[in-house]
C-alpha cells in the first residue's frame, strides 16, 4: 500500500479542493482531525497512525513540529 502523509491547514472546502487537485479518489479512505484537542491527545493519535501506516520517524517529527506551531 502506498501512503502519502501531508498536513493541510485550511477550511473544509479548501481541503476538499486540495484533495481533488492532488488527484485523490473521492472514495479513498483518509484520516482527518477536526477541532483543537490537546497536544498530548494529538501526539498519541499521530503515534498510533504512524505505526499503522509505516510512517517514518522523520515524517512523524515533522508533523509534531507543525502541530506545536499551530497550538
Please report the pLDDT score of residue 15 as a whole number.
Answer: 85
Q: How confident is the model at residue 3 (pLDDT cuts 50, 70, 90)?
A: very low
Please report the pLDDT score of residue 43 as a whole number.
Answer: 77
In this predicted model, what pLDDT tens digit does every residue of 11-59 receive, in sequence order?
888 888 888 888 988 898 887 777 666 777 777 777 787 778 887 888 8
Residue 1 has pLDDT above 60, yes or no: no
Q: Specify burial of residue 42 (Cβ count, 10 A radius: 0-12, 13-18, 19+).
A: middle
Distance CA 62, CA 56 (A): 10
Nearest by Cα to 21 from 34, 37, 10: 10
Amino acid at each position: 500500500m502506498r501512503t502519502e502523509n501531508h498536513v493541510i491547514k485550511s477550511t473544509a472546502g479548501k481541503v476538499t479542493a486540495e484533495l481533488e487537485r492532488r488527484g485523490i479518489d473521492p472514495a479513498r479512505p483518509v484520516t482527518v482531525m477536526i477541532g483543537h484537542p490537546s497536544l498530548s491527545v494529538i501526539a498519541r493519535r499521530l503515534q498510533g497512525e504512524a505505526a499503522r501506516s509505516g510512517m517514518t520517524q522523520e515524517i512523524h517529527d515533522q508533523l509534531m513540529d507543525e502541530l506545536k506551531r499551530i497550538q
